[in-house]
Structure 1
Amino acid sequence: MSLHFLAESSFLVWLLFVAVYDFRKRRVPNWLVLGGAALALAALVVDRQPFGLSWTAAFLGAAIGFGFLLLFYVLGLMGAGDVKFAGALGLWVGLPGLMPIWIAASLLAGAHGVLWLVLKRWAVFPKVAVALRGRSQAPDDIASSGIRTRFIPYAAYLAMATAAWIVWGRQS
């Protein structure tokens, strides 16, 4: 088994873990983000980066991924885990991969939000609406904590869009 295959497989497994965790918990823990970033750095160290990125390109992708989504976090539109995940993802795919991944993930997240709004108002499939909403928290808990609930698992959609980008990129 080659190191290149191992790096790419590790990347895909990491994306799977992020997607599943974010869909289930609506958060991405630091240990998961740091694990993916460590794997990306290890791939760079052994010169087996799956997308042929240089150190500079990888760090530029990480900085732009983190920095751009940090704006959405500051505005209260995104969770910190999503921002940190975007930084780690940028370390893997670099700046050229981030743009199509962001566009696809944003379209998926937008569809998620629209579907949730439709199902919330038209309760034909209440269990689907609840699943889209994520873990429920009592309104009193939200009001007392001052925490704004984020129900769109953006990191999961980034992970899904990345997997699609990998497959689509191999076709060309």
Structure 2
Amino acid sequence: MKADIVLLLWLLFVTVYDFRERRAPNWLVLAGAATALAALVFGMQPFEIDWTSALLGAGVGFGFLLLFYAFGLMGAGDVKFAGALGLWVGLSALALIWIGASLMASAHSLLWLALKRWPFFPRLALLLAGPSRTPESGTPTHRPRIIPYAAYLALATAAWMVWGRQS
């Protein structure tokens, strides 16, 4: 199986999981990172990047989003996913992918805020807000994650794979 198909499947799994649960689980992130490393070892990397670019992509992807996590603006799964994604696409593609993902996340947020304020479509607002994480005691355990950022990173990566690499 070609490595780009494996990457697309991984991106699909991350997208679906993050939209449904608002988290990117460690097992899914590690599976993507291990597959990216295997593709590098066996010379099957779909974007023909070298080890340096892949490791820089992982480090910058993880490190940059770690700042957002430190301020409570992002979940840890999003940060780890960005690091694993950097192993796949390398450093040069990350900026374009981040811009695309951030635009989608901004649109999600603005639509959710508008629907929350003007509830014309209450089901859509609930869908955008994600699953409820309130325990039976009624007090939330942590701040809810409204934006599935790992999913938007995955979608932006898939779009980059289809349209962004054509030169």
TM-score (norm 2): 0.96
Residue 96 (str. 1) matches residue 88 (str. 2): no
Identity %: 68
Residue 165 (str. 1) matches residue 163 (str. 2): no
Aligned residues: 165
Residue 85 (str. 1) matches residue 81 (str. 2): yes
Partner of 2:5: 9
**Residue 138 (structure 1) shift:** 3.2
Partner of 2:144: 149
Is there any run of 5+ residues in structure 1 with no aligned partner, and where?
none
Partner of 1:138: 134
TM-score (norm 1): 0.93
Encode CA deviations 1:77-110: one digit per residue, 9 max, x unaligned: 0000000000000000011110000000000000
Residue 51 (str. 1) matches residue 33 (str. 2): no
> Secondary structure at the residue paired with 1:40?
helix
Encode CA deviations 1:34-63: one digit per residue, 9 max, x unaligned: 000011001001011011111111000000
**Residue 135 (structure 1) shift:** 0.3
- Name which of 102, 107, 112 aligns with 2:103: 107
RMSD of aligned residue pairs (Cα, Å): 1.2
Matches of 2:65 and 2:33 in 1, distance apart? Answer: 17
Residue 126 (str. 1) matches residue 102 (str. 2): no
Matches of 1:31 and 1:12 in 2, distance apart? Answer: 17
Decide which structure has greater helix share.
Answer: 1
Is there any run of 5+ residues in structure 2 with no aligned partner, and where?
none
Matches of 1:141 and 1:36 in 2, distance apart? Answer: 35
